[in-house]
Amino acid sequence: GKINKNKIKKKYTEEDLQNALSALNTGQTYKIVSEAYGIPKTTLFEKTNGFSRPTIIRKGPPSILGEQTELKLVNWILYMGERGLPVSKVQLMDSVQLLIKATKKNQPVFTNSRPGRRWYQSFRSRHPELCERLSQNMLSTRYSITEEQIRGWFDRTKSYLQSRKLLDIHPSRIFNCDESAFRLCPQGNAVLAKQGQRSIYNFVQNDEKECVTALFCGNAAGQILEPMVMFNYARIPASVAKLMPPKWGIGRSENGWMTGVSFYEWTANIFYPWLLRHNIEFPVILYLDGHVSHLTLELSDFCREKNIEIIALYPNSTHILQPLDVAVFHPLKTIWRRVVPEWRLEHNGERIRKDQFGMILKRACDAMKWDTILPNAFKATGLCPFTPEGVNFKKHFKESTSHTIEAFPVPAVERNVDMCLLESVESNIKEDILREFKLVADDEEWPGDVSHKSLFDVWRSIKSKSSVRSETAPSSATSTGQERKANFSHPEK
């Protein structure tokens, strides 16, 4: 029988088309030009005889943003992808929303100035050069990253900082920011009770089980910015604004977590003005964990214009490289667990409302010794001074002796099973819930919605097993175990 050959659509650029039309004008045949530039003969015929425009007609409805704006979006997506920061659908939507609000376009097509699924599909159709794909994990969970990968990040970042003359700048110009969740009624406080009484109950209201997220930022010189507190309100209540400490930021989003829009607002309205007020020399460095919700087109443009150099930390290594994670949030939450019951005692056991959160968190912040904690945090993560030798690799990547490897080998297959199980479970958990899980400290109980506690316990158990296997797996093998060495040294392969 006949073999059906599927037609292959060849991609060609606007430049190819114009060169092809020029070649036809010199007298070359359609067949020769079609084969030379990979453009169908019918397309060339239609464009040379006026049946269609002599330019590439992109699929999909025309863009309501305009060709130049969409081209800017495309270039930004490609730019970020080349730097290992692939743009997600949510990031793109956030960027368009900010762009529309900034240009004050009157577009009734978008609800709340935010494009939807149909616009996204049309955008993809108009720009086939963009290929949607899942960001490759390379199995780089926090349990499988290696010392070599971290050192490699230091080498690449050092070269970039040297090229920008930012390697040996003053500590006051080196910043890190991150968000963390605080429970309105934290658990784990020791209490006094009648001798022999086994069960002690602390009755709380439902809203006291909620978490409130705050964004913190500090520099290597020991200076801390006023935090930005996030709320899940459509409109900020007047009581929240009234009780919030002076110069503290107030953000809002649908679920109370940081979004691209709110992070841009923090950068433009809190971070940059703070730099000006404190006469910080530009350019400055802002280290981020690279979370997709933070990076938008508007943020990139703003930071480029204001000489704010954003540098993404190595993926899933914040427990090693992020100063706030390494040395700030644990002592801050310890103090938080102390000041909350103190405040309630002073107010006759009154429950804590969301609008009171800021002033109580300020008590905890005022008790922190920022001028010593922050410089030590940046030093311990190797960010200031910038050197991988500042990182305690022995703490994060425990080495095993050769006899331990031979006596108690941990099969790479078994280790990969745990990591794959963790990834499988996380892929089936909603993104906002998983973010809440990851913000809970290792020594804390689940502080959120009671209906999620069982899922959290399962997730933490699997995560713990993966962590244990990573710590017990040797980073190198003896000469008799070369195959094992490959498995342990490069689990991502």
131-140, 170-179, 199-208, 315-324, range with greatest mean pLDDT: 170-179
| Angle of the 14-25 helix axis to the 41-48 helix axis, nearest 10 | 70
Averaged pLDDT for residues 34-38: 89
Q: Measure the CA angle with vertex 86, ends 84 and 91; round to 5°.
A: 140
Model confidence band, residue 83 (pLDDT cutoffs 50, 70, 90): low
Give this prediction's pTM.
Answer: 0.65
Nearest 5°: phi and psi at 174? -115, 115
Averaged pLDDT for residues 462-487: 48
Please state which of the ranges 117-121, 424-428, 449-453 shows the lowest mean pLDDT. 449-453
Model confidence band, residue 383 (pLDDT cutoffs 50, 70, 90): very high
Please state which of the ranges 50-54, 112-116, 461-465 shows the lowest mean pLDDT. 50-54
For residues 99 and 69, the answer to whether their CB atoms sit within 8 Å is yes
363-372, 424-433, 440-449, range with greatest mean pLDDT: 363-372
**114 vs 451, higher pLDDT:** 114
Tokens linked to 68? 């130049």
50-64, 91-105, 229-243, range with greatest mean pLDDT: 229-243
Whole-number pLDDT of residue 96 = 85
Model confidence band, residue 378 (pLDDT cutoffs 50, 70, 90): very high
Whole-number pLDDT of residue 140 = 38
DSSP structural state of residue 60: S
For residue 363, pLDDT over 90 is answered with yes
Q: Which residues contact 195 (CB under 8 A, 6 or more apart)?
A: none
**198 vs 82, higher pLDDT:** 82
Residues paired with residue 114 on neighbouring β-strands, in sequence order: 111
**377 vs 197, higher pLDDT:** 377
**268 vs 421, higher pLDDT:** 268
For residue 62, pLDDT over 90 is answered with no
CA 186 to chain centre: 26
Whole-number pLDDT of residue 415 = 43
**208 vs 337, higher pLDDT:** 337
Averaged pLDDT for residues 383-401: 83
